[in-house]
Amino acid sequence: MSIKDTAARKTAATAESIDPRTRKALEQYLTVTPDVGRARGAEDLVLVTSESGSSYLVDVREDSCECPDAEYRDIECKHVKRARFSLALDAIPADAAAACDVDPDLGQHCDADLRFAAADGGIIVADDDGEILDEDDDEPDQQRLDEAVDLSEEYGEAPLAGTCIAGYERCCGISGMYFGEFPCAHCWLYAPASAHVHFHDVGGADE
């Protein structure tokens, strides 16, 4: 079995373990809009509009939603999850970020910087343009680079020409952040260290 086949199996196994509502919250086109309509003036309320056009009022303090899924099953529905991810109240789990084709519009209309849980348990904060704003790590940058592990043997080489390591059509890979696009979490978490070093130190694929 090839290395890429092994990586594909691991990704598939991870995908099966993701909570279905978490997957929907990350992948579906759900729009979170605070301070509009019925949520106007309410700090803890947002409107979440689904792909079908239906809008539901979500209370992120009580983790409640007026959608049928939440009302009749008494669970944390995809609308609550999407709202909490978009408002950076919850960090996107590393395994879910790696296994899901995360909607590139996640967090749009919300005045918050998305938080991604790193594979090592840390937290990565990124803005809408894909710039990494903060990393929950006190080590100097050079020390982190010296200790970086190249995962290319397990996950394959990361393309440096604006393509996704996982093949997602909506992701431009690590280089995407320099094209104004945020790469999918799979690219960010699993691209070889050399790709990250190249784009952070050199400043882009064309240089």
pLDDT in tens, 136-161: 544 444 554 444 444 445 544 544 55
Q: In which band, very low, low, confident or very high, does the pLDDT at 10 lie, cut at 50, 70 and 90?
A: very low
Claim to verify: residue 107 and residue 54 sit in the same structural domain: yes
Whether 93 and 142 share a structural domain? no
Domain that holds residue 179: 138-207
Domain closes at, from 137, 157, 172:
137
70-95: per-residue pLDDT in tens?
Answer: 989 888 999 999 999 999 999 999 88
The owner of tokens 């729009």 is 31
Q: Read off the pLDDT band of 197 (50, 70, 90).
A: very low
Q: Closest by alpha carbon to 32, among 90, 72, 116?
A: 90
Q: Does residue 128 share a domain with residue 145?
A: no
Rounded Cα–Cα distance for residues 65 and 50 (Å)? 13
* Total domains present in the chain: 2
**Sheet-wide strand order for 132-135:** 114-117, 123-126, 132-135
Angle between helices 78-86 and 20-27 (to 10 degrees): 50
Beta bridge partners of 116: 92, 124
At 75, list the tokens.
């669970």
Whether residue 25 sits in one domain with residue 127: yes
Is the same domain home to 151 and 116? no
The last residue of a domain, from among 86, 106, 137: 137
- The C-alpha atoms of residue 157 and residue 167 are separated, in whole angstroms, by 12
Domain boundary among 137, 161, 184: 137
Percent of the chain clearing pLDDT 70 (strictly above): 50
Q: Are residues 169 and 126 in the same domain?
A: no
Three-state secondary structure string covering 71-129: HHHCCCCHHHHHHHHHCCCCCECHHHHHHCCCCCCCCCCCCCCEEEECCCCCEEEECCC
CB distance 122 to 135 below 8 Å: yes
HSE of 74 in the Cβ direction (CA atoms, 13 Å)? 0
Q: Using CB atoms within 10 A of its CB, is residue 17 exposed (0-12), middle (13-18) or buried (19+)?
A: exposed
- Hey, what are 7's tokens? 């990586």
Q: Do 33 and 82 fall into the same domain? A: yes
Please classify residue 15 by burial: count the beta carbons closer than 10 Å to its beta carbon, then call 0-12 exposed, 13-18 middle and 19+ buried: middle
Residues 192 and 174 placed together within one structural domain of the fold: yes
